[in-house]
Amino acid sequence: MLLILQVIVCIALVIIVGTWLSQSADIMAEKTGLGRTWVGTILLAGVTSLPELATGSSAIVVCIQRFWLKRGTEITEK
């Protein structure tokens, strides 16, 4: 039951925040004069790509940490 509630809350948040983001991009396009297509293509695409960027960056950090931790144990064993 808790899982279903969490999914419903996440769906509601995505809808609310997505709507707000779209409206904010429209306002920004009007104020800057760039046009809705430009703002939609660049800003919204960039914002929606941030989770993938964060995931990739954290994976690289974890990989580097594991490499150096393993290497450190090899050095101390010799």
Count the residues in the chain.
78
pTM: 0.52
pLDDT at residue 10, rounded to an integer: 92
Q: Where does residue 33 fall: left (phi above 0), alpha (psi -120 to 50 degrees), or beta otherwise?
A: left
pLDDT digits 0-9 by tens, 14-73 = 999 889 988 988 898 899 888 888 888 887 788 788 888 889 999 999 888 888 877 766
pLDDT at residue 72, rounded to an integer: 67
